[in-house]
Amino acid sequence: MSHFDQELDARGLNCPLPILRAKKALKDLSVGQVLRIVATDPGSVKDFEAFAEQTGNELLESSESGDEFHFLLKKT
């Protein structure tokens, strides 16, 4: 497991809620800090890729474990 500064539990939330919650959580982080997101919405994989591209934040990791999706987003 990689290092992260804050964790966001977005399990049970459907698009666009995981992205909206992540956007809000990133506002509270400093540049260079990492947010870990745990989601259950299969659509969140493409959503977080697009979110990182659009916002310039770095998607460090995207993985799947059972019915959960884990993301590491670095604030830039």
Rounded CA gap, 60 and 17, in Å? 21
Residue 54 lies in a domain: yes
Domain count for the chain: 1
- Residue 1 above 90 pLDDT? no
- Residue 42 above 80 pLDDT? yes
Residue 1 lies in a domain: no
Looking at residue 29, which CATH number applies to its domain? 3.30.110.40
Tokens 């745990």 belong to 38
Query: pLDDT averaged over the chain?
Result: 96
Show the domain range for 27. Answer: 6-74
What angle is formed at CA 35 by the lines to CA 32 and CA 38, rounded to 5 degrees? 160
- pLDDT reported for residue 9: 98
Rounded CA gap, 36 and 18, in Å? 12
Catalytic residues: 15
